[in-house]
Every structure is written in structure tokens, then in C-alpha cells.
Structure 1
Amino acid sequence: MNRKHFLKSLLATGAFASLGGMRAIATPGNRSMHSADTFTLNYAPHFGMFGNLGGSDFLDQLRFMHDAGFRSLEDNEMRNRPVEQQKRIAAEMSRLNMAMGVFVAHTIGWSEPNLTTDDSAAHDKFLEEIEQSVAIADRVNATWMTVVPGRLHPRLELAYQTANVIGILKKAAAILEPHGLVMVLEPLNPLRDHPGQFLTKTSQAYEICKAVDSPSCKILYDVYHQQITEGNLIPNLDYAWEEIAYIQVGDNPGRNEPTTGEINYPNVFEFIHSKGYDGIIGMEHGNSMPGKEGEQAVIDAYRECDPSL
């Protein structure tokens, strides 16, 4: 059945209705239940993705995610949230037995070079923020934090920039290792979303991680970014696999849920599953349709693409 028609049939049969004060979750096969089956892979939504179905309150959204079968949360903005809010989120996730995905560990150099330079002040600020992120990770029970080396230096050869990045990441890894924490380097696409950024390709991140040579410096492989930058998704995942610690997804074009673009997510997820991956897959994308129908479409897309046990 066409997915949009399927969604309309769910709405018509009252799949979003409340049952005895308990939230009903619609799942494929036109079933409704209070707590849906979990997924084969560990997908992590973010706050706002289910704001209509889950409600405006963050804790209510967490409960909805759990009821829908998700067992992790991703929150790029965690380091910017008030401490008390971080604690409340962490406490509810602990109660629900949900895991914390990545948060952004530092101020990213979107417009000015920072880690690609030999500027000691920029490096000191980065290391200070890494120290702060250790405390945040402890507070919210996180293991992974996103690091983006920042903008290309316009007057410095790429090899020198690479050496600068490797040098500062070695210092950051020395801070993180005693705590069992992992910074994950995210290559970003330069063609659509992030022109001028230093780190763009899987092979480049792989080279840097090999040079840093630390369990606290690994790759965040974002399928959306790499479809735009280089394609060849499964072979690149396979070759860099030993350095990949975290995965994010979104379809292209549009950066919405799987099944809305050109990426063959059933095959990609099946490959990830075949590698024995038991980490988190961050749902770093928007919803292709607004409102409750669009939010249910996100859930249905992951049900459709999730590998079978």
C-alpha cells in the first residue's frame, strides 16, 4: 500500500486516539499498543521530532519515543541546556532505560578557522570546552560527543592544517580517555550544507583517527552527508568500519526520514546490522510532512527499513 494512503487509513481508524489514558502507538499491520516493539537497530530521535504526538514537554517526548519503540535519544544542544534540565532529562532516560547519543562538544568554527590553525588561543578554548563536556557527559550518562574541526584555513596548505588538527585532537583524546569518553569526528558535505569546512570525506576522517591513535577519537559517519560528498556508501562504511563509532542518517535530497529520497536505507541498515553494530544511529533529519501524520510517517519509515531479526 502507498505509505501516504496507509497513514490516512491509520488516522481514519483512530490509531492516534488515546486508550484509557494510555498513549496508543500505531505500527505496521494497523496494530495499536501502549508500548511498541523495539527496533532491530538502535535509532535515536531528537527533541521536537515528535512534538505533536508526544507533546511540548521534553519528558513527555521521551516517554513517547520509548512507547514508540525507540531506546536512545540524540541531542546536539545538550551542552547549552541548563544544568537542572540536563539532570531531569538524564533521570527520565535512566528510568526508561534509554541511552544518550551524541551532543556537540564544543563551539564549531563555522565562519572562522579554529582547529585547522596553529592559534594557541583557539586550541586552548577547544580544550577548555572538551573539559566542560566531560562534566556534561557524566551528568547525562553520555559516551560520545561530536567534534567538527571547523573551517578551512585560506592561507595554509592542507597538510599543515591536517597536522594542526591531529595535534589538538591528541590533546583532547588525552582528556577523554581516562573517563572512557569518545569524541566522534563528523565529515560534513561541502556541496549543499557546509561549504568551506575542513573535514568532508570518510577517508580524511579515517586518516586523522589513525594518526591520533586513540580509542577516544573515532568517526561519526553521517550517511546523508556522505551521500552528497562521495556516495559509495557501503564500501566506504566497510573500509573505515574499525574507526566508526557512531552513525547518523537522513535521506537525500531533503534531509528527511528514510524512504523520502534516493538512499536505499533497507540495504544500508542491513549492512550495518550484518557488521554486528550495536551502537546508536542518530536520526539527524527533519520530517517530510507536518503535524501528527508527518511524525507517524517517521516511525513507519524506520519500521519499513529496519532489518528483520
Structure 2
Amino acid sequence: MKLSACIEWQFGDETVGLPDRIRAASEAGIDLVEFHLWRDKDVDGIALALEETGSKLTGFCVDPRRSIVDPAQHAEMLEAVRGTLEAAVKLGSPPLIVASGFLREGVSPEEHRAEAVKVLREAALLAEEAGVTLVLEPLNTKVEHPGMYLDSTRLALDIVEEIGSPRLKVLYDVYHSRVMGEDMKSVLEGRMHLVEHVQVADMPGRNEPGTGEIDWKGVVADLRDLGYQGALGLEYRPTLPALESLAMTREALGV
């Protein structure tokens, strides 16, 4: 498995903008990168740095973030998808990350899901036309994202399976999943084909693998047993300078 540096947080001590962080990651032997929102970033500079280094993006977020469960925000959500798809084409057409938005008070689980399925089906059609994959990301609600609708990997997989688009998959984040008390192997068994990307960070703290309590070599072995062959996104907050942080991460993951 190859590593994908989250340049939103990594290489920030050594460089300022994302283009130079891409170059720094490349010099460190990492040719896959990802980041969060894009509208406040130098998209042309990022494209140039990717071309110069031969690096590739493994993902960035649909921006602005809008709710998939609130019909009042669906038009804006789809417009955000359209704009982000245009940006993605300039950057090699990587997967685009979709967050769910927050629970609506007094609304049933069935209605939440129905609204999510409705708008994601429309978004998936836009993604199919553009040849880009959308990835739905469950987030933990116990530490960083209280009130978020989608905090269950099983529910995310169920929604993606129901829609049935080849351009709608799941982003599985080991940290968020572990915070929510999920057992990775049982959650993903037989459903890894629905997962586009995997991200890692240790728990507690959301720092480098090797700083917390997760058995990372076991996680990597389980992912391989489940059939995952993609990249591991390093979406953690580093506690060390970039090269030391990467060395710790490689040792912990065994990759």
C-alpha cells in the first residue's frame, strides 16, 4: 500500500502553500497527496506542482460543504458538486469527499436517509458525467463532530449500495470508525468493493500512527485480507517534523 500525505496538516512547518507542500512530499518520497477544501487554495499552483513532481491527488472535499439530509440545502449542495467537479478535472479528476451535514431536530432516521439518498443519487449522476468518483465520509460524533448525521460506516455503505452508482463510494477513516467503537473487519467484510479510500490516524489524539493505542500492523493486515489495495491517507495532525513523522508512521504501519 502506498501512503498519501494530507498536505492540509503535513509539511506545514516547512512550507506555506499547498504547491510547495506537494513538492516537499515528493522530495520525501510521497507522490500521493490529499487536502480538504479547495476554494481558498491556489488551484493553478497545485496543478503545476502535481505536473512538476508527477504526484497525484487521492482526494479533496466538495466545497462549500452543504447538508445531504436537509432538502433546503440540496440545490446548494448540487451546485457545490458541479463547481468542485470542474476543479477536479483541472487536478487529475481525483475522488471528491462528501460530508453529510448535521441531524435535523424532530426528523426521523427514515426521512434523514431518504433525503440523503435523493440528493446523492443526483450528485452521483453529475459525477458519472464528469468521470469523477464521489466518496461519502462518515465522521465520529463523540470527539470532533457532534451532531453530524453520518457517523456509521454501515449506514454509509448501505446508502451507497442502495444508490448503486459506480461513481459513489465510501471513504473509510480508521480513526473516526474506532472512535465510534466499530470493528473494522466486521463492518467492511464483503463490502470493501464499496470503499474508494482509507485514511488513518491514531487514537486518542488523531496524531501519527504509533502515538496511540491502535494496532496498526493488525489494521493493515486486516485491510489486505479484506481486499483493499488502495492508498492509506495520512489524515493525522503531526506531532513531529515532517520526515520524523513519516518515519514513525511507516514503522507503525509496516509499509
Compute the TM-score of the two structures, normalised by the length of structure 1: 0.77
Greater than 4 Å deviation, 4+ residue runs: none
Mean alpha-carbon deviation: is it higher for 237-246 or for 195-204? 237-246
Counterpart of 2:30 (choices 70, 75, 85) is: 70
Contact kept? 1:265, 1:305, Cα under 8 Å: yes
How far did 1:43 drift? Answer: 2.5
Q: CA deviation at 1:215?
A: 1.0
Residue 306 of structure 1 deviates from its aligned partner by 4.0
Matched AA of 1:105: V
Give 1:91's aligned residue: 48
Counterpart of 2:180 (choices 229, 234, 238) is 229
1:50 aligns with 2:36: no
Q: Is the 8 A contact 1:273 1:307 kept in 2?
A: no
Over 3 Å counting, the alpha-carbon distance change for 1:174 and 1:305 in structure 2 is: same
Q: What's the secondary structure of 2:141's corresponding residue?
A: coil
SS in 2 for 1:174: helix
Q: 1:126 to 1:175 in 2, by over 3 A?
A: same
Match of 1:115 among 68, 72, 87: 68
- The answer on whether the counterparts of 1:224 and 1:251 sit within 8 Å (CA) in structure 2 is yes
Look up the match of 1:100.
57
Matching of residues 9-158 of structure 1 within 5 Å: 40-52=1-13, 54-81=14-41, 85-109=42-66, 114-119=67-72, 122-158=73-109
- Kept in 2: contact 1:187–1:199 (CA 8 A): yes
3-state SS of paired residue (2:198): strand
- What is the number of residues matched between the two proteins? 255
Structure 2: distance between partners of 1:48 and 1:243: 27
Q: Which amino acid aligns with 2:53?
A: L
Q: Distance in 1 between matches of 2:53 and 2:229?
A: 19
Contact 1:224/1:252, CA 8 A, preserved across alignment: yes
Query: C-alpha separation between the residues in 1 aligned to 2:189 and 2:56?
Result: 25
Q: Which has the larger radius of gyration?
A: 1
Inter-partner Cα distance in structure 2 for 1:161 and 1:100: 31
The question of whether the paired residues in 2 share the 8 Å contact of 1:116 and 1:151 is answered with yes
Q: In 2 relative to 1, CA 77–106 (structure 1 residues): closer, same or farther, beyond 3 Å?
A: closer
Q: What code does the residue aligned with 1:118 have? A: P
Matched residues in 2 for 1:176 and 1:234: separation? Answer: 29
Structure 1 residue aligned with 2:243: 296
Structure 1 unaligned blocks of 5 or more: 1-39
Query: Is the 1:224–1:255 Cα contact (8 Å) retained in structure 2?
Result: yes
C-alpha distance in 2, partners of 1:207/1:58? 35
CA distance in 2, matches of 1:288, 1:237: 30
1:41 and 1:307 in contact (8 A); partners too? no
